[in-house]
A = this chain, B = another copy of it.
């Protein structure tokens, strides 16, 4: 395993690079799985110290990235995501300490069964193995990913975006220092040697070395990873979240929830993107909701009935029902029955987070049972779709896959399990 090439040269194909890094990561994962929580926390807290000590070097590297980005005339929002300063470096170091302070996710006894023959079967939590993290411009993901993976005793292969290459490298150097200082395998956290796109393709094929891939970035990246990956992916493509307002809804509650769900932060995946109004609601109720949104400068597109209720509503196209705006814009539709609402959500939604506002128990139960989403909410803002709000501590994101990491992906979702069977010379009859 030692001496495997880590840097690209002309003789190494992308496949060879990923394979050799993958082999080293697998070996490191085996060592890492034996580290105690105390040893891990010590390494993480030292990583936080090193980040603060190295902040001048990190800021200098970040300046190179920012200058290159400015030359490329990248959007202000992207430059903001890329830029580090003292305050942000302190926040990065603090997030590492917060991750160290989480409960140990490894070695938990999840279930115990004693069989009639006396065999004792335990299901215990264990690290998954090797994770692949593919991300874009935010350099802090380098540290977030490294810290979450170390805490859960998983090795990780990092592939950051080209815009943040120097910043990520400077942060990665801090990780290497912390690993060495604590006698952790240095291959526990590996950075791809270049931002060559071919390396991403090879990572997605490398199911012999990488157990799970986690993309963090825009829809383009996530979509590519979801369609090409040959291993499980923890991600959501989008969050086209709905709110269904049942005839029994309380108007004040509906106004509060809808305002919060759409407008608290428009750019997060749990923000509401579509309203479904029960046609049994009073027109005035619907008008007041639409009016509140207009007064908040939120653009509304709707079907003809909705348009007839408020004159500022523009025409919604078929595409609108599928769209996650991530902006001050929302679609609105009238539905004749709860069945129509549920069918619309299951057809056009993204199986992420959908909510009902209702004071009718039967309707609420039907909605909860039939909406096929990772998170189904009742009388609650969809903006609570977040690992922190679920009490999971740091989260990596929200998963819309059906298995394992459905909903918020926290530290516990970075572990799997194995069965331990304890006998006393048992043979099977």
Contact = CB atoms under 8 A, between A and B. Distances in A.
B257 A377 contact: no
Interface string A406-429: 110000000011111111111110
A32 to B, nearest CB: 12
Contacts of A390: 113, 115, 121, 419
A300 B377 CA distance: 61
A139 interface: no
A191 B143 CA distance: 50
Interface residues of A, number: 58
A267 to B, nearest CB: 14
A33 B373 CA distance: 13
A298 interface: no
A296 interface: no
B416 A378 contact: no
Contacts of A426: 257, 379-381, 384
Interface string A367-384: 011101111111111011
Interface in A55-80: none
Contacts of A422: 377-380
B389 A407 contact: no
A55 B100 CA distance: 63
A377 B26 CA distance: 23
A30 B253 CA distance: 30
A390 B122 CA distance: 10
Given A128-B402, A369-B33, A403-B403, A421 B374 contact: no
Contacts of A30: 346, 370, 372
A428 B381 contact: yes
Given A379-B423, A381-B426, A403 B33 contact: no
A391 B113 contact: yes
Contacts of A369: 33-34
A66 B335 CA distance: 56
A211 B424 contact: no
A168 B99 CA distance: 54
Contacts of A185: none
Given A369-B33, A370-B30, A256 B404 contact: no
A379 B427 CA distance: 9
A264 interface: yes
A129 interface: yes
A119 interface: yes
Contacts of A113: 390-391
B403 A373 contact: no
A23 to B, nearest CB: 11
A86 interface: no
Contacts of A404: 403-404
A129 B378 CA distance: 23
Contact of A403 (B119, B383, B416, B419): B416
Interface of A: 30, 33-34, 113, 115, 119, 121, 128-129, 211-212, 232, 250, 252-253, 256-257, 259-261, 264, 346, 368-370, 372-381, 383-384, 389-391, 402-404, 406-407, 416-428
Given A121-B390, A257-B427, 4 more contacts: A119-B389, A128-B403, A264-B428, A404-B404
The 7 A-B residue pairs with the shortest CB-CB distance, nearest first, are A380-B423, A260-B427, A253-B425, A383-B428, A403-B404, A377-B421, A375-B419
